[in-house]
Structure 1
Amino acid sequence: MGIVQLPPPVVPRARPRLDPRALERDLRARVSGEVRFDTGSRAAYSTDASNYRQVPIGVVVPHTVEAAVEAVAVCREHGAPLLSRGGGTSLAGQCCNTAVVIDWSKYCHRLLSVDPGRRLCTVEPGIVLDDLNRRLAPHRLQYGPRPSTHRNCTLGGMIGNNSCGSTAQAYGKVVDNVRRLEVLTYDGLHLWVGPTGDGELAELTARSDRTGEIYRSLAWLRDHYADEIRARFPDIPRRVSGYNLDSLLPEHGFDVAGLLVGSESTLVTVLRAELELVPVPAHMSMVVLGFPDIATAADHVPAIVRHEPHALEGLDRKLLEFERVKHLNPAALRMLPDGTAYLMAQFAGRDAEESHGKAHTLTVEVPDATGSAIYDDTAHETLLWHVRESGLGATAHVPHHPDTWEGWEDSAVPPQRLGDYLRDLRALMKRFGYGEPSLYGHFGQGCVHTRIPFDLSSAEGIRTMREFAEHAADIVVGYGGSLSGEHGDGQSRAELLGKMFGPEIMEAFGQLKAVFDPADQMNPGKIVHPYRLDENLRLGAMYQPWRPETAFAYPHDQGRFDKAAARCVGVGKCRSLEGGVMCPSYRATREEEHCTRGRARLLFEMVRNDSPVEDGWRSTAVLDALDLCLACKGCKTDCPVNVDMATYKAEFLHHHYAGRPRPRPHYSMGWLPVWAALAGRVPRLVNTLARMPLLERAIKAAGGIAPERQLPLFAPQPFTEWWRARGPRGPGERGEVVVWPDTFTNYFHPEIGRAAVEVLEAAGFRVKVPGRAVCCGLTWISTGQLDMARRALRRTLDVLREDLRQGTPVVGLEPSCTAVFRADAQEMWPQDPDVRRLGEQTRTLAELLTERAPDWWPPSVDADAVVQRHCHQYAVMGFDAERRLMERAGLRADVLDAGCCGLAGNFGFERGHYRISQDIAELGLLPAVRTAGPDTVIMADGFSCRTQIEQSNTGRVPVHLAEVLAAGLYGTTPKAQRTQPPGTAARVAVIAAAAAAAGVALAGVRARRS
């Protein structure tokens, strides 16, 4: 091979002055993609899921891999540092830097090829793991490593971090599951790398070009440091820290792809990856073993590992306690056997008998467990995995506990020494005054997760955090472990790598960096010559955030908006592409700024004292990010730390437009209760005028309404007028209830109110309806007109006060209005006893019937139904009562897990939002409606959901649960043709007759407004 002249080691140096404007200009001119140097984009990418923050120079979102190659070339010409980013969920700080960030996730997410026979596939770096596995499912193949962020982590990010997850017990880390990588060096070399045989290596090292230079250098590093690598690299399953120099050893086939896995964008840019796949197990069984404490549970790990589990996870009592406090996974927590700490072992088998047999054998061979349980069905196993995968969110922002942070998040030791390590780590935490944080993780491979209540906003607290990390590193090294067992080094641990590897290996790391990136432009300051672990902190000793006066009280954040704005921990669940509600605009745009995390980042930057977002409540960058927030409240439940972006948006709009003109929709749709009350006096005239083409266009233009939308028609008779003429009926043996006449039910769909009255009376309740004009204030809240909303709510309290103090339930028929009483009002006046009563006594129709009339069974409807949950109901009230009541009524309900309908109150009606509103609906709701059988009932309790379905050319008319139950009161025989007096009964009879004749065709017979 001859004499090898290695490049000098990379040393930190002052960087040449960069001209961001010229860099941006050239990127825009030459790169096919989105180039963003604006304040909002830079703020959104300023941090990841770590404690660190560095505002990037700019962001490039390439349309293709080739466009990314050109972006690297432009950055090289300008001397700009680079950072590749996937899902941005890294916990060690490697996904933030003062660099040009390349975000692969929006466009470069193609599955390029699949070879089922060889079990290989080729992907672009932006593809999300769950999306990849969905596409591989027809081949009964999957990509093995599965981090808890599998819904939103990208393969590029997994490669950068050398990710693992629970299934690494069976399949190993990413480094064990990558065949080849296509990479690009900062200086422009483009090549595929992977395992390299001796003959190929000889050919490569003989070349006189840049490729030959790299391979000669790598061969020299292997030969020179081989003994030290074998001596200093811990022989454990979860060594993720440092560069994978061991991949160059002869026993690992001089695998350059393996070397580059886990290099955190500090050496090369990964362009494409050839991945090794594994078969999807035919059947899985899970055994849960209880123990008196987590260290004792860990003592049993070596014995359990001998049974070759597919996964082996540990859960301590603190994690479970925190999940109970935060109402996470209640059904799964009830499934746990006796114990205060647990091991969850999953076994794969060719069939149920084999996997169950393995699980049963384990329970027999661990006789000193305090309890055990075996689960063989996917549904229960999924529930239990949610307990484990909720760990990060469950241990962050726990009520009545200090905030916790990463910083010693994923250390790993030999599994056979795990119990003693946990005891020592717990003792160290107590010695430093951190109490008893939760300890959980991938115990089968000795990897421990924890979040610690560091004080990261005072000089003394930061010094203590640093001292703790140094002592913890010494303990891990003493156990022969790794500082990182999953999430990489980034900035949290890179400074401590010398303790683990010693000076010679650290020298080798520096030389490896110089081989690939001699200019130190690839994610500088991470792994090699790193930033200190106590600098670039998101908070820091100088953190003195702005604490503005607010309209909401933020009772869960010490009454402070700045605390609420800092609530996001960056786990990125809002970037998931399916399941739950959060975040509809991200699912349609795949845009970081339009996910809950991105918006939270901008709000956090807004309250900082050293941020590019400088205009406070007047910030147009924040306004732009919030523009596509549907205020669906999905994040209030789906977000692991309950970021409530709908509330934050309302607060921001309230202040942003204070004392100046608002957008036209704020006056048209924000004041809908007023306009509806006026139109309700002459509804036929208003409907006639609104259907005149010229006048309709003028109304839409004046109100800022999308021209593609149809204006909803007002009902001929408001619900309250019908009620005044009819009045209460029946003895009401179950007591009184107040039916809330929300604006949408009252003026647009009064038939729903009428149906609800008849159902409640049939169930034995005596109905009351407020005799005065009332409103929950929803439309003013959603448009940020919080002074008006507060007035509306105060008026409501005045009207309902006597009933509330007498304990009378309030039945809400419109989920968004019901959610105001259950959530928003509490956020405004958390100490007001009448507001508390309003929240406690407000129920959905299903909740009231299942709680107050548990022995009442509605008449059977015997129908198939496709059911769209309203987002606010999903987020605030839940849907369990509705499921139970539909089952009682004989409805075979397919409750969609399709996310938001896309209309979301005023959002989908606003000019400029129509297209994205439809895109969101097409993600799940509308395809489900179109494919439903003609005899299937389409159900949606929310006015927005019904309107979206009706106005989207589905040919279907959805109905409310109250209408279906009322139909059951009159549709008892297949051919019954009932004639009832005018009113709800007549309408219900028509529905019932049609349902009987067609089986279940309830949806197509609504008597519409004229």
Structure 2
Amino acid sequence: MAPTDLPLPVVRRPDPDPGVDVPALEGALRERVDGEVRFDTGTRAAYSTDASNYRQVPIGVVLPRTPEAAVEAVAVCREFGAPLLSRGGGTSLAGECCNTAVVLDWSKYCDRLVSVDPERRTCVVEPGIVLDELNRRLAPHGLQYGPRPATHPNCTIGGMIGNNSCGSTAQAYGKVVDNIRRLEVLTYDGLRMWVGPAGEEEPERPTAGEGRAAEIHRRLAALRDRYADLIRERYPDIPRRVSGYNLDSLLPEHGFDVAGLLVGSESTLVTVLRAELDLVPSPAHTSLVVLGYPDIATAADHVPAVLRHEPLALEGVDRRLVHFQRVKNLNPDALEELPEGDAYLMVQFAGDTIEEAGDRARALIDAEPGNVGHTWYDDPEHISELWMVRESGLGATAHVPGEHETWPGWEDSAVPVEGLGDYLRDLKALFEEFGYGRPSVYGHFGQGCVHTRIPFHLRSADGVAHMRAFVERAADLVASYGGSLSGEHGDGQARGELLEKMFGPELVEAFGRLKAVFDPGNRMNPGKVVAPYRLDENLRLGADYRPWEPETAFAYPHDDGKFSKAAARCVGVGKCRSLEGGVMCPSYRATREEEHSTRGRARLLFEMVRNGSPVNDGWRSKEVHDALDLCLACKGCKNDCPVSVDMATYKAEFLHHHYAGRPRPAAHYSMGWLPAVARLAAPVARTVNALLRVPALARAAKAVGGIAPERQVPVFAEQRFTDWWRERGGPRGDGRRGEVVVWPDTFTDHFHPSVGRAAVEVLEAAGFRVKVPGGSVCCGLTWISTGQLGVARRVLGHTLDVLREDLRRGTPVVGLEPSCTAVFRADAAELMPDDPDVGLLREQTRTLAELLAERARDWRPPAVEARAVVQRHCHQYAVMGFDADRELMERAGVEADVLDAGCCGLAGNFGFERGHYEVSMACAEQGLLPAVREAGPGTLVLADGFSCRTQVEQAGTGRTPLHLAEVLAAALRGEEAVPRRPAAPGPRALLAPAAAAGAGALALVAAVRRGRRRGGG
């Protein structure tokens, strides 16, 4: 076909209502596709947005089990004329991952590493494989995939191909387009083919012959011929030109590379089924230099000089980003390692030896002016810590206390490095002109790419108009520098409308012609890149955003007291979808379901309070309930989420309202009221234990209580910790270090009293006078976790009555069970924000290790001298931290392997509830149980949390995990720390007489009843 025969673009702006017979489409997909087909309201709501400012509820979601299943899904969509969107990790910042379309989510099943060729340094993958997981599988070959975005723990290769991703290592390895060998693609009209460079020997071979494939290649050749001169003239000659289609890949000097053309096309042209990737050797050793400058523009001015040293990566960070991380307590240790300065360049080098990497670092330092501060490291631990300062950028700049909300929209511009400093000065002036203050700027400075989040006002018509005016001016600015609107995030909806400013009308017409070659009906991700929606429509917020503001039980002090703001806190970065490291999100790791990630649940809560949402039943929403059902309430997201989404609190709030005035699940009574049940059982513990070991009775009890039949009911202690304390005669010791209150939580008191006795022994040995509260006391944890917040508040009120005198005297309260300690340190203050004694309780509550670190630093703990596998309790990890425990174990000679293995999976009542057993065990098998099984017989298993200990004991590992207090107490006595939990008595114990129910349980129930008479639920 001659160039003049090219058809004019036929793509048009999409109709918001594609007019699809949705019930028939869903039925055909279910019948014909090997995969999961989801057209329910909850799933559609969870996929309604990405990490951008945009929101479009999809028609439905398909999770194909194989690429062949995806081919069939596309065929069904074609028959019904349904728009299609192929989705990776869902972290796009320009809106390309949300649309009114059928969404193909590859990430659950299509994650195979098909083959590896170490000699050719290539591999073939399916599009759903996560980058970090791919590199873990490639590591035995000494290879890796080069581009590494900050979202590497959760971004998929398919998504990276769609966006032409880069990351910091693109400095050395280039973008995805530079690291693709071939792609297997599918067009909307059903053509399936492998594409790549044409080859030097037969450059015209792909255009020869008949058929759709040859026709496409001929039309691409004609497109190339028609626009070649304009492409060479108008495409910025910079490493971070990601905006627009890769028409330059069709040029002869680039080998007529159709795979390169399709990289970065954001699912608007084809569906990628498989990819053959070019690999690079993993660096043997690296070093990291951090240089300090007086301001970020000056740092940018130095980039060309630093580039002469050929770094592996070269990143820029400004003082605002550092300040935000200090405010949010992100990466505190790393921030202390930064040199003097108000802006920084982070420069990484690679070498075959540690000496080579170090020599390159020293050469840079020697070449810098004497007034430039610096620090450098060549050990992996420090390098990883410092690198997190840069990789935390997106999360650190969102929801900063005391700052305005910030948003993407102009977060990804790129300019030639020679003009980077001047561009930043002009951009700063533009911020000031539009009244946006001083947003943080940071990014891949070695390639001129600048990231930022701007305090756009997206909740009013004037604010949206102001945002639009700014973005148009900023696009003009970057074009004047010969730059790119996007340096790695893509165009999507945020920048598609602006492409003419960068490329001119002729090349924008060429983009339309290219779209017409592959997708003339505009069914592939319509409204993105070509014939785009306006940048100020389909906004997640917008001028008409008027969320529902419900009354709440928690105070939400970090969200201005508004549940709507808490529900909108998630920015979509997707860290909760990572597959290892940290705690968040155990249920996603077990299910690989978006709906069961922290992000997915946050999306549903946002939809619940949003006006005009398909989730329109408020607190009664079944969709939200189902999404929250598999939330373990582990609080991992409170710490791991870069914007501190606290899903455990949101779940408790939701359950509180969802079941208000109606019956609850049985488990809410059996386990929510566990403290009262345990007190009633205490006087007859031996009999209760024996009864629960009769199989028929145990099955009946579990069925009535809503407990998973696979679970064993924990053994009640025959002598409670508080009974032991009273028989012992109360406090002992000289108390030279003062008094402390040991908190008798339900789990210590009724199930593992040896923990409480051990803690008393250790504290007295350290010089404290120990007190234990009398009467019936509780932190309210089990009522909080089951959403019975009115009861929890009354129980906490009773606890404050008991502790008030000690609190006002400044007496520390030592918590032994991490989840109960976390209530005092976090939840109580949000449930009872106006009670000053709650503030005292929060400030004076300590873990055992924290108390010893703060008030007994000169005390020498007993020598344990043992190895230990240590499982941190999730609530301790999220609320109190674990540094004091590490220090105490080190002082005691414990060689601790502190697992970075996520949640134990039991998580209080979660793992005991009927229907949760499989997910609970899948979470445990992610790391905890394998580590325990692999531990040698002489290795201790330490777990301060009752749930963690119970999970290990009930998993058939043959190990008895211990609390740190038990280990220290055993060492004080000169014993080996290998106690065993008492076994339950057999059925013969039924002959023992049963005593009356304890007065303590009746007192607790009476306190709750009194509270009910005063009102509440």
TM-score normalised by structure 2 residue count: 0.96
Q: Secondary structure of 1:894's partner?
A: strand
Deviation string 1:460-501 (CA, Å, 9 cap, x unpaired) is 000000000000000100000000001000111110000000
Q: What residue is the counterpart of 1:493 in the other structure?
A: 495
1:288-324 deviation digits (Å, cap 9, x = unpaired):
1000000000000000011100000001000000000
Shift of 1:146: 0.2
Q: CA deviation at 1:368?
A: 4.6
- Superposed CA deviations along residues 694-746 of structure 1, whole A, max 9, x for unmatched, are 11111000000001100101001111111111111111100000000000000
- CA distance in structure 2 between the partners assigned to 1:594 and 1:390 by the alignment: 23
Check 1:1003–1:76 CA distance in 2 against 1; reply closer, same or farther (3 A cut): farther
Structure 1: state its 5+ residue gaps: 972-991, 996-1001
Alignment of 1:335-346 (within 5 A): 335-346=337-348
How many angstroms does 1:784 deviate by? 0.3
Rounded to whole Å, the distance in 2 between the matches of 1:638 and 1:86 is: 21
Q: Deviations over 1:748-780 (max 9, x none)?
A: 000100000000000000000001210000000
Partner in structure 2 of residue 303 of structure 1: 305
Q: Which residue of 2 aligns with 1:642?
A: 644
Match of 1:399 among 393, 398, 401: 401
What is the alpha-carbon distance in structure 2 between the residues aligned to residue 225 and residue 391 of structure 1?
38
Counterpart AA for 1:791: R
Distance (whole Å) between structure 1 residues aligned to residue 478 and residue 342 of structure 2: 26
2:855 matched to 1:832? no
Which residue identity does 1:745 align to in structure 2? T
C-alpha separation between the residues in 2 aligned to 1:767 and 1:859? 19
- Confirm or deny that 1:264 pairs with 2:266: yes
* 2:938 is aligned with 1:903: no
3-state DSSP of counterpart to 2:688: helix
* 1:845 partner letter: L
- 1:547 corresponds, among 531, 543, 549, to 549
Superposed CA offset, 1:578-628 (max 9, x none): 000000000011000000000000000000111000100000000000000
8 Å CA contact 1:412–1:482 kept in 2: the answer is: yes
Report the equivalent of 2:190: 188
**Alpha-carbon contact 1:956-1:1004 (below 8 Å) kept:** no
Alignment of 1:792 with 2:795, yes or no, is yes
1:146 aligned partner: 148
Aligned equivalent of 2:384, options 382, 385, 392: 382
1:521 paired with 2:526, answer no
Equivalent of 1:967, from 965, 970, 979? 970
Tell me, in whole angstroms, the C-alpha distance in 2 between the residues paired with 1:309 and 1:17.
53
Distance 2:852 2:791 in 1: 33
For each residue in 1:909-953, what CA deviation from the matched residue of structure 2 results, as whole angstroms up to 9, or x when unmatched? 011111111111011000000000001001100000000000001
Cα deviations by residue, 1:949-978 (Å, 9 ceiling, x for unpaired)? 00001000100000000011011xxxxxxx
Q: 2:613 aligns with which of 605, 608, 611?
A: 611
Equivalent position to 1:808, from 811, 816, 821: 811
Q: Counterpart of 2:450 in 1: which secondary structure?
A: coil
Deviation at 1:866, TM superposition (A): 0.3
Matched residue SS, 1:448 = strand
Residue identity matched to 1:616 = G
Query: Contact 2:95 / 2:493 at 8 angstroms: preserved in 1?
Result: yes
The one-letter code matched in structure 1 to 2:463 is G
Name 2:29's counterpart in structure 1: 27
2:926 corresponds to 1:923: yes
Distance 1:303 1:2 in 2: 48
Structure 2 Cα separation of the partners of residues 7 and 784 of structure 1: 62
Counterparts of 1:551 and 1:847, CA distance in 2: 30
Aligned to 2:746: 743
Partners of 1:325 and 1:828 lie apart in 2 by 24
Percent of pairs with identical residues? 76
Task: Tell whether the 8 Å contact from 1:731 to 1:764 is kept in structure 2 after alignment.
Answer: yes
**d(CA) in 2 for partners of 1:3 and 1:751?**
85
Tell me the distance in 2 between the aligned counterparts of 1:552 and 1:379.
39
Q: In structure 2, do the counterparts of structure 1 residues 265 and 809 end up closer, same or farther at CA, with 3 Å as the change threshold? A: same
Quote the offset at 1:8 in angstroms: 3.4
- The one-letter code of the counterpart of 1:471 is R
Aligned partners of 1:4 and 1:216 also within 8 Å: no
User: Aligned ranges for residues 875-894 of structure 1 at < 5 Å?
Assistant: 875-894=878-897
> How far apart are 1:1008 and its partner, in Å?
4.7
Q: Cα offset for 1:2? A: 5.5
2:538 corresponds to: 536
- The correspondence for 1:762, drawn from 751, 760, 765, is 765
Aligned to 2:993: none
The equivalent residue for 1:667 is 669
1:975 aligns with none
Question: Are 1:169 and 2:167 an aligned pair?
Answer: no
Contact persistence 2:6–2:223 (CA under 8 A): no
- 1:207 Cα offset (Å): 1.8
Within a 5 Å distance, the mapping from 1:430-445 to structure 2 comes to 430-445=432-447
Distance 1:915 1:1003, change over 3 A: farther
Deviation at 1:859? Answer: 1.1
1:575-594 aligned within 5 A: 575-594=577-596
Kept in 2: contact 1:956–1:1003 (CA 8 A): no
Q: Deviations over 1:385-443 (max 9, x none)?
A: 01000000000000011100001001000011100000000110011000000000000
Any idea what SS the aligned residue of 2:726 has?
helix
Query: 1:881/1:116 Cα in 2 relative to 1: closer, same or farther (>3 Å)?
Result: same
Within 2, Cα distance between the matches of 1:860 and 1:27? 64
- Give me the whole-angstrom Cα distance separating, in 1, the residues matched to 2:496 and 2:840: 53
Determine whether 1:783 maps to 2:786. Answer: yes
Are 2:941 and 2:961, in contact at CA under 8 Å, matched by a contact in 1? yes
CA distance in 1, matches of 2:2, 2:319: 60
SS of equivalent residue, structure 1 residue 682 = helix
TM-score (norm 1): 0.96
- Alpha-carbon distance in structure 1 between the residues aligned to 2:880 and 2:80: 54
How far is 1:681 from its partner? 1.4
> What pairs up with 1:444-459 in 2 under 5 angstroms?
444-459=446-461
- Cα distance in 2 between the residues matched to 1:353 and 1:927: 37
| 2-structure distance, mates of 1:589, 1:3 | 51
| 1:420 equivalenced with 2:425 (yes/no) | no
Which letter maps to 2:11? V
Letter in 2 for 1:388: R
Corresponding residue of 2:774:
771
Q: Distance in 2 between matches of 1:316 and 1:53?
A: 31
What is the identity, as a one-letter code, of the residue corresponding to 1:738? V
Q: Is the 8 A contact 1:4 1:217 kept in 2?
A: no
1:155 counterpart (157, 160, 183) = 157
Amino acid at match of 2:709: P
1:351 corresponds, among 336, 350, 353, to 353
**How much has 1:690 moved relative to structure 2?**
1.3
Counterparts of 1:244 and 1:11 in 2: how far apart (Å)? 19
Residue of structure 1 aligned with 2:953, choices 944, 950, 954: 950
Deviation at 1:7, TM superposition (A): 3.7
Instruction: Work out whether residues 3 and 226 of structure 2, in 8 Å CA contact, stay in contact via their aligned partners in 1.
Output: no
- Quote how far apart the aligned CAs of 1:833 are: 1.7
Determine helix, strand or coil for the equivalent of 2:814: strand
Question: 3-state SS of the aligned residue for 2:90?
Answer: coil
Residues 623-655 of structure 1: CA deviation (Å, up to 9, x unaligned): 000000000000000000000000000000000
After superposition, where does 1:223-242 map in structure 2 within 5 Å?
223-242=225-244
Q: Give the match for residue 817 of structure 1.
A: 820
1-structure distance, mates of 2:44, 2:597: 15
Q: Write out per-residue CA displacement over residues 28-63 of structure 1, whole angstroms, 9 at most, x where no aligned residue.
A: 000011000000000000000000000000000011
How many residues were matched structurally? 982
Q: Which amino acid aligns with 1:263?
A: S
Q: Does 1:872 align with 2:846?
A: no
1:787, distance to aligned residue in structure 2 (A): 0.4
Does the residue aligned with 2:504 lie in a helix, a strand or coil? helix
Instruction: Please name the residue that 1:222 is paired with.
Output: 224
| RMSD, matched Cα | 1.0
1:982 equivalent in structure 2: none
Shift of 1:832: 2.6
What is the identity, as a one-letter code, of the residue corresponding to 2:912?
F
1:479 counterpart residue number: 481
Deviation at residue 882 of structure 1 after TM alignment:
0.3
Q: Is 1:99 aligned to 2:120, yes or no? A: no
Aligned to 1:9: 9
> What is the distance in 1 between the residues matched to 2:150 and 2:747?
41
- CA gap 1:46/1:369 in 2 versus in 1, 3 angstroms: farther
Letter in 2 for 1:709: R
Measured in 2, the distance between the counterparts of 1:59 and 1:648 equals 26
